[in-house]
Amino acid sequence: QGFTKYCTAHGLCVMQLLSELFTEFDRVVIGYASKGVTKVKTIGDAYELKRSFSVEELDASPMSVVRDAVAAMTRAAYELVQTALSIFEERQVSLGVRCGMAVGPGMSGTIG
């Protein structure tokens, strides 16, 4: 919370903060690679993750795959929030952090 206001007053600091934040987030996410968690992209101040499933995984044990995926994503999100709060405290920046999760079928691909 307060990110837009902070951006208006501290343009260069915002870029440095996001660079540090996303670099640390990348380190956290690498720790979850064995659980299938990967970074999708960043959009402004948003950092997007996913946990993909193969058809074979879902056919074999759909409930346990989804349960394990949700657990891994929840742990990763918690660690990302803690990382952000630590960086904010270190820099003496008063900002909030939000996380969201969607579970369900989806499809993605690259065009072009």
pLDDT of residue 87: 94
- β-strand partners of 37: 51
State pLDDT tens for residues 34-48: 998 999 999 888 899
Q: Is the pLDDT of residue 25 over 90?
A: yes
What pLDDT, on the 0 to 100 scale, is given for residue 77? 95
pLDDT at 76: 96
What's the pLDDT tens digit per position in 62-104? 888 889 989 999 999 999 999 999 999 998 988 888 888 887 7
The CATH topology of domain 3-91 is Alpha-Beta Plaits (3.30.70)
Region 11-38: mean pLDDT is 92
- H or E element that contains 23: helix 11-30
Q: Is-contact 25 47, C-beta < 8 A?
A: yes
Domain layout of the chain by residue ranges: 3-91
Report the C-alpha gap between 36 and 90 in whole angstroms: 30
**What's residue 83's pLDDT?**
97
Determine the pLDDT at residue 1.
Answer: 55
